[in-house]
Structure 1
Amino acid sequence: MTTIPALLPAVGPDFGAVGGSGQLRQIVGALLTFGLLTAVLMVVVCAATWAVASSNGGWQAAGKAKTGVLVALGGAVFTGGALAWANWLLDLGATL
């Protein structure tokens, strides 16, 4: 005796027919990598500015550099998370 699901054909979208997902993954990866490198560079610059300003007694510059470090760290975290999220969405879209 055969079951009902075995009699039904496999119905679903053919994502192999839609091109460009590989290119989209490369473009998103390149843009997010550029953003991540920029954020890391800003962390280095702001940390160096913070160190120099605090050693010379420039408390206003040190405070602004500290804020810059925190903003750049937040940008790096969000950019890394966006890269992981974009890859997850592209993988999820291929399985729908």
Structure 2
Amino acid sequence: MLNPMVDVHPNTSGLPGLQAFEKIAGALLTFGLVAAVAGVAISAIAWAAGSHSSNPHVAGRGKNGVLVACAAALLIGGANALVTFFHNAGGTIH
């Protein structure tokens, strides 16, 4: 018995409203980057306040917040490259 072969590829012209969806996704990337900047600023303030007031818990949470916000910005900035890489890598699986 032969197994059927499925051969489906992304189609950029087959779905109405795709351009609008791409604009929405781009706007979400922008909002994400703005939120990451705000996260860095707020976390840095918490880090400084915790360090200045000798509160290691607040200082540690501020440090973690800075790292998380920077990691979020890295992922958001590289979202297109990451998705493209994994799409291409997945296309080589047979």
Distance 1:84 1:22, change over 3 A: farther
What does 1:9-20 correspond to in 2, within 5 Å? 16=13, 18-20=15-17
Count of aligned residue pairs for this structure pair: 75
Q: Which fold has the larger relative contact order, with Cα–Cα distance below 8 Å and residues 6 or more apart in sequence?
A: 1
TM-score by length of 1: 0.65
The one-letter code matched in structure 2 to 1:81 is G
Q: Any idea what SS the aligned residue of 2:16 has?
A: coil
Q: Which has the higher helix share?
A: 1
4+ residue segments displaced more than 6 Å: none
TM-score by length of 2: 0.66
Runs of 5+ unmatched residues, structure 1: 1-13, 88-96
| Preserved contact between residue 12 and residue 18 of structure 2 (Cα < 8 Å) | no
1:66: Cα distance to partner? 0.3
- Cα deviations by residue, 1:39-58 (Å, 9 ceiling, x for unpaired): 11011000111011101111
Larger Rg: 1
Identical aligned pairs, as a percentage? 41
Distance 1:52 1:15, change over 3 A: closer
Runs of 5+ unmatched residues, structure 2: 1-10, 85-94
